[in-house]
Amino acid sequence: AYILERRLFDKSLAIEAARAGADIRVNTYANGLIRAQKQIKGVQVRSNGKDYRILADVVVGADGVESKIGRMAGIDTKLRPQDIDICAQYLMCGLDGDIDEHQSGFYLGGEVAPGGYAWVFPKGNGCANIGLGIRGNVSREGHRAADYLKRFVQRNFSMGSVITEMYGAVPVSGPLYDAVAEGLILVGDAARHVDPSTGGGILYAIQAGIIAGEVIAEAKEENDFSKSNLLKYEKRWKQSFGKELKKKMKITNFIQSLSDEELNAIAYSLPSEIEIVLFY
């Protein structure tokens, strides 16, 4: 796996986009779609207290989980609690000796992270991202992702210091709808392009973004921004990583069906270079 410095990574993508000619607008929130008959023709935005209209042949909704842009376009992006992983993550430092700098850690089980898993991703110099995700339908008072993470860290990494905290949600239902409308394409979490077994969506967001760009460039040449033409995007992302997502959905459903004892038994049958540590 690759460990990213996410803020720097996103910033570097924005810099590359600007260099390639993109007009980047910060502090700008899209709060409506512009339509001409059924065709989407742009977005209404609020930027630094002022309202603007931005016209576009195609709007790309990259607005994350339960995409509001998608919903405005008539796509039902709302998730059921069991289709969401609620995540909590700390950046911790002062972990020298507590973590292996060259090994990622994954922790499964009902005590650690019911319906999900906990992770330890080393970041170098005794620091690591330590986090977990739990299924939305098991989250309740005293058993929220933040509570599980606090307990996990207290038991296993109490010598470290929390530098930053981060909370969020990831769609883990797999893609259930066409992420396309008349003049609109959804990418990333908005399209539910997320590996349900890990909650990882960065790679798919980038792959789908590239495919969306190619399809929109072709649509521009053809001067056809209809849904039926943009559906090429659906076909191509499915060719690219659709099978992989389906396979991972099956693996996830299988893992979800296992008891903690069965998970331990599987872990012990893994190759010996994978280190197994029981925490509870």
Ligand X SMILES: Cc1cc2nc3c(=O)[nH]c(=O)nc-3n(C[C@H](O)[C@H](O)[C@H](O)COP(=O)(O)OP(=O)(O)OC[C@H]3O[C@@H](n4cnc5c(N)ncnc54)[C@H](O)[C@@H]3O)c2cc1C
* Binding residues for ligand X (CB under 6 A): 29-30, 62-64, 68, 87, 89, 131, 166, 168, 170, 188-190, 194, 199-203, 205
User: In angstroms, what CA-CA distances link 143 with 83, 118, 168?
Assistant: 18, 14, 16
Q: For residue 255, how many C-alpha atoms fall within 13 Å in the half-sphere facing its CB?
A: 21
Shortest Å, Cβ 105 to ligand X: 13
Shortest Å, Cβ 223 to ligand X: 27
Give whichever of 129 and 156 is closer to ligand X, judged by the CB atom. 129
Rg, Å, the chain Cα set:
21
Give whichever of 31 and 253 is closer to ligand X, judged by the CB atom. 31
Shortest Å, Cβ 274 to ligand X: 19
Shortest Å, Cβ 110 to ligand X: 20
Give whichever of 210 and 265 is closer to ligand X, judged by the CB atom. 210
Give whichever of 121 and 225 is closer to ligand X, judged by the CB atom. 121
Shortest Å, Cβ 24 to ligand X: 12
The strand pairing partners of 166, in sequence order, are 89
3-state percent breakdown (helix, strand, coil) of the chain, nearest 5 = 35, 25, 40
Burial of 59 (0-12, 13-18, 19+ CB in 10 A): buried
Give whichever of 212 and 215 is closer to ligand X, judged by the CB atom. 212
Q: Of 3, 186, 199, 194, nearest to 91 (Cα)?
A: 3
Pairing of strands 50-55, 39-47: antiparallel
